[in-house]
Amino acid sequence: MDKLSKEEVLHVAHLARIYLTEEEIEKFRGELKVLMDDIDKIKEVEDFDDEMMYTPINDNTRLREDEVGEMLSAKEATLNAPKKNGSFIEVPVMINE
C-alpha cells in the first residue's frame, strides 16, 4: 500500500484535534505512510539481552560518603553573590505576572 486511507488520516487528525483540508489529507496520506513504514523498521530491531541502561555511559563512579560538616554562616554563603539584600541573595524575576 502506497498511502494510508483517507479515513485513517482523518482518524489521526481527530486524535490530534486538528482540521485538515482535502489537499492536506492527500498530502498526509503519503507522508503518514512513510512515517508508519519507518516505525515498522524500528520495531524490527532486536532487543538487547543486557539489562536496561539508565545512562549510555558505563561509569562506576565511586561517590564519597555523606558527612555532616560545618555549616556556612549567612555572611559566608552570600560572600560571592553578585547582588544581595541582607542575608538573602537577590535574583532576577523569571516569571511575569
**Burial level of 28, CB count in 10 A (0-12/13-18/19+)?**
buried
Residue position matching grid coordinates 496520506: 29
DSSP at 80: T
Length of the chain: 97
Q: Please report the sign of the dihedral spanned by the C-alpha atoms of residue 11, residue 17, residue 15, residue 26.
A: positive
pTM value surpassing 0.85:
no
Q: Which amino acid is at 40?
A: D
CATH number for the domain formed by residue range(s) 6-43 = 1.10.20
Average pLDDT in the 71-79 region? 88
Give 55-66 pLDDT, tens digit per residue: 677 777 778 888
Residues 5 and 25: beta-carbon distance below 8 Å: no
Model pLDDT, residue 29:
93
How is the chain split into domains, by residue range?
6-43
Give 8-53 pLDDT, tens digit per residue: 999 999 999 999 999 999 999 999 999 999 988 887 876 655 566 6
